[in-house]
Homo-oligomer: A and B are copies of this chain.
Amino acid sequence: MPPLNEQQLDQNREERREQIKKAALKVFTKRGIIGTKISMIAKEAGISQGLTYRYYHSKDELFIELVKDAMEETAEAFASLENMSSSPLEKIKELTKKMLDTSNKHSFMLIQQVQTSDEVPDKAKEIVRQYPIPSFIEQLIPVFKKGQEMGEFCKGDPAKLLMLYFSVISGLMLLPNKDEEDQALDVDILMKLIRE
């Protein structure tokens, strides 16, 4: 009997998990954790409902895994601003685009859901609290202050302005999809909120 290729098996398993996660993220962001039935995720992933449980022990576990991923992505998006050489205005604009962009949107929406809903697992709340949006925003305060000095941004408490600004973005993310062109237009108008 030939030895099984364990590495290959592991990789298959990992791919399956990714497939399930991708399907789950889509459904969770659309219908919320309670509105999402395991059967929906299975259908979206093209597998049977029972098989889902061979990869994740529960709906909550799957949800929590997705929240972890989303937080890491978000942390990276904020961190990558540091390395950009552009002006404060351009930095915020870039971040806004990323957040509203369809490919990243689901992650931000998931975090949004954790922050606003009472029905998500406590553990998900904990994870988001570990690096909460306020702390992401804190990273931007120096950027914003610099922009104020350069006359790019309006006067006022940077923390409050940024908080309002990202509330608005979060709100927009929750709304039904618009097409790409509209999104691009939106970004410039949104900047009016914080520009001089």
Binding site for B on A (CB under 8 A): 30-32, 34-35, 115-119, 160-161, 164, 167-168, 170-176, 182, 185-186, 189-190, 192-193
Number of identical monomers bound together in the oligomeric complex: 2
Q: How far is the CB of A122 from chain B (nearest CB, A)?
A: 16
Residue among B30, B115, B193 making CB contact with A190, cutoff 8 Å? B193
Main secondary structure of the interface of A (DSSP, over half): helix
Residue among B32, B119, B161, B170 making CB contact with A171, cutoff 8 Å? B170
- Give the CA-CA distance A176 to B115 in the complex, in Å: 9
Q: How far is the CB of A115 from chain B (nearest CB, A)?
A: 8
Asked if A118 contacts B31 (CB within 8 A), the reply is: yes
Asked if B176 contacts A172 (CB within 8 A), the reply is: no
- Give the CA-CA distance A164 to B186 in the complex, in Å: 7
Given contacts A31-B118, A170-B171, A192-B193, 5 further A-B contacts (CB under 8 A): A34-B34, A167-B171, A167-B172, A170-B175, A171-B173
Asked if A171 contacts B175 (CB within 8 A), the reply is: yes
Most buried by B among A32, A171, A186: A171
Residues in chain B near residue A174, CB distance under 8 A = 116, 171, 174
Asked if A164 contacts B176 (CB within 8 A), the reply is: no
Q: How far is the CB of A88 from chain B (nearest CB, A)?
A: 18
- Give the CA-CA distance A172 to B165 in the complex, in Å: 10
Asked if B119 contacts A31 (CB within 8 A), the reply is: yes
Q: How far is the CB of A170 from chain B (nearest CB, A)?
A: 7
Q: How far is the CB of A176 from chain B (nearest CB, A)?
A: 6
Residue among B35, B118, B170 making CB contact with A30, cutoff 8 Å? B118
Q: How far is the CB of A28 from chain B (nearest CB, A)?
A: 13
